[in-house]
């Protein structure tokens, strides 16, 4: 391990978590620069909104083509800034291209006005943009999280102010350049190099009309409170502690493989990572042992090396926090099957870890574990599995594995989550809505629902000039 790197207190820094090297530092924007950026986004909205949806969609689709041309540059930047393994960085670039092209192709149709049947004349619900929107985005998917917010809203006619996580400024700058090169007019998409302390100030600006945040439930509560004071619409995608329920022992090797993918993708730093493995008694011991073997075989190394299967976490602080959660849970009586500490090497590495015998009151029972740590529970039956799965402050996603699809679908209906995937780890595609309930937030991103969140659903009711005049109200 190495000490936390020395960074200028006032800077926004890009640090490689593989070796803690400071890659670049950027001065944060001044208050005057922030105000000018917000004002420019408001001014750009006045012309951007008047373009036909197909014209706006063409810009977004072009961004999808350009990012594929620059995939090597973008993938390398992601890996250097937050430690994602290079293969997964390429996967993220490809997913972002899919999202941009999805809204580029389908966005105009998704925005079509909706006629309302009436007895006389006509009525239509017209989908119209709101204005400049603030997006507060996290570091764990530096491109994907931005794309699923920006793409639909740009096609909808809103303009974007993007406050990215402070540890991935180079990814943020590259995205701004991408949209500019795709043809977005000045002020349409603006990157804000600001610390988190400036978010409230931006929300308070009267030109800002809505806020979307992906991050922790604590950050979401703060943003929602501030936005509420300003009567701003918000969408929040927050933390998760997704259950992964194993109902039978059929294809157990495939199920364990899926468990490793679900837990270790992005080194477990995903809101929809499988975090709580809930296994019926008959398969429990076998599942734990096979999972232990898979975890023990992971190879730590440079995330730029395709042979690496265990990369670093995003930062020294993230690694320290995760190990603290694990060690305190063990001190409270949990069983440590494998791992539990830092790897003896430079960088923000944490051992692949399995905990069992975790009970209510322990930290790992109710807190989100953001890293390569799996908690495995043994349950006697389906009812116990559902009860345990729902005993969480979070409700983002979940996964159920069973050969009996009817059984799995019945169980899916009982889970208190925004998403359930059957026989596959929770994932994301442009055409599928994404979001949760409870402390995992509200609103939906992606698919048709994602483009509907920040719209003025304007009713236009028309009567013929010969109609009788009357008035009623609710």
Return d(Cα 86, Cα 104) in angstroms, integer: 27
The pLDDT of residue 1 is 44
> How much is the pLDDT for 466?
87
**Residues 244/425, Cβ–Cβ less than 8 Å:** yes
Burial class (CB in 10 A: 0-12, 13-18, 19+), 458: exposed
Pairing outcome for strands 373-379 and 394-395: unpaired
Compute the distance between CA of residue 140 and CA of residue 143 in angstroms, rounded to an integer. 9
State the average pLDDT over residues 466-473: 78
User: What is the pLDDT confidence band of residue 205, given thresholds at 50, 70 and 90?
Assistant: very high
Tens-place pLDDT, residues 50-63: 999 999 999 999 99
Question: Does the annotation mark 439 as catalytic?
Answer: no
List the chain domain ranges. Answer: 12-238+440-459, 242-422
Name 245's bridge partners.
278, 400
Whether the per-residue pLDDT at 3 is higher than 70: the answer is no
pLDDT for residue 276 is more than 90: yes
The model's pTM is: 0.95
Q: Is the pLDDT of residue 428 over 50?
A: yes
pLDDT (mean) for 363-379 = 97
pLDDT of residue 4: 52
Instruction: Taking residues 350-365, report their average pLDDT.
Output: 98
* pLDDT tops 70 at residue 261: yes
Q: Which of 88, 92, 271, 445 is catalytic?
A: 271
12-238+440-459 with 242-422: one CATH topology?
no
Is the pLDDT reported for residue 133 higher than 60?
yes
Cα dihedral sign for 189, 191, 197, 201?
Answer: negative
Question: Using an 8 Å Cβ cutoff, are 183 and 173 in contact?
Answer: no
Where b means 16+ CB within 10 Å and e means fewer, 329-359 reads bbeeebebbbbbebbeeebbbbbbbbbbbbe
CATH of 242-422, one of 3.40.50.300, 3.30.720.120, 3.40.309.10, 3.40.50.150: 3.40.309.10
User: Left, alpha or beta for 464 (phi > 0: left; psi -120 to 50: alpha)?
Assistant: beta
CATH class belonging to 12-238+440-459: alpha beta
Q: Which of 81, 88, 176, 237 does the annotation list as catalytic?
A: 237
Counting residues of the chain whose pLDDT is more than 90, the rounded percentage is: 95
């Amino acid at each position: 391990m190495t000490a936390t790197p020395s960074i200028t207190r006032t800077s926004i820094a890009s640090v490689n978590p593989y070796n803690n090297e400071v890659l670049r530092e950027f001065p944060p924007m001044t208050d005057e620069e922030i105000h000018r950026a917000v004002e420019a986004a408001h001014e750009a909205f006045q012309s951007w909104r008047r373009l036909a949806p197909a014209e706006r969609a063409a810009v977004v689709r072009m961004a999808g083509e350009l990012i594929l041309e620059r995939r090597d540059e973008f993938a390398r930047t992601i890996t250097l800034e937050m430690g994602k393994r290079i293969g997964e960085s390429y996967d993220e670039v490809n997913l972002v291209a899919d999202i941009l092209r999805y809204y580029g192709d389908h966005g105009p149709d998704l925005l079509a006005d909706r006629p309302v049947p009436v007895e006389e004349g006509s009525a239509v619900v017209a989908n119209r943009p709101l204005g400049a929107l603030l997006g507060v985005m996290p570091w764990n998917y530096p491109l994907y999280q931005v794309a699923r917010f920006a793409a639909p809203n740009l096609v909808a006619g809103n303009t974007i102010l993007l406050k990215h996580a402070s540890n991935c400024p180079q990814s943020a700058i590259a995205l701004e350049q991408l949209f500019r090169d795709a043809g977005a007019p000045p002020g349409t998409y603006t990157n804000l190099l600001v610390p988190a302390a400036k978010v409230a100030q931006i929300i308070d600006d009267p030109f800002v009309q809505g806020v979307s945040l992906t991050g922790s439930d604590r950050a979401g509560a703060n943003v929602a409170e501030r936005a509420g004071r300003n009567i701003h619409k918000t969408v929040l995608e927050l933390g998760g502690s997704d259950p992964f329920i194993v109902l039978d022992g059929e294809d157990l090797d495939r199920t364990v493989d899926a468990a490793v993918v679900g837990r270790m993708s992005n080194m477990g730093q995903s809101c929809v990572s499988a975090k709580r493995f809930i296994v019926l008694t008959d398969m429990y011991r076998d599942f734990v042992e096979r999972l232990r073997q898979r975890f023990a075989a992971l190879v730590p190394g440079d995330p730029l090396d395709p042979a690496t299967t265990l990369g670093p976490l995003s930062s020294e602080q993230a690694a320290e926090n995760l190990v603290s959660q694990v060690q305190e849970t063990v001190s409270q009586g949990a069983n440590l099957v494998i791992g539990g500490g830092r790897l003896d090497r430079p960088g923000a590495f944490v051992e692949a870890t399995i905990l069992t015998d975790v009970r209510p009151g322990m930290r790992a029972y109710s807190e989100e574990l953001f890293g390569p740590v799996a908690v495995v529970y043994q349950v006697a039956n389906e009812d116990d599995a559902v009860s345990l799965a729902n005993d969480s402050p979070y409700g983002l996603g979940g996964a159920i594995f069973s050969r009996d699809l009817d059984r799995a679908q019945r169980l899916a209906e009982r889970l208190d989550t925004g998403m359930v995937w059957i026989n596959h780890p929770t994932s994301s595609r442009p055409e599928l809505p994404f979001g949760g309930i409870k402390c995992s937030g509200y609103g939906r991103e992606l698919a048709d629902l994602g483009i509907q969140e920040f719209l003025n659903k304007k009713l236009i009711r028309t009567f013929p000039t010969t109609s009788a005049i009357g008035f009623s109200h609710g």
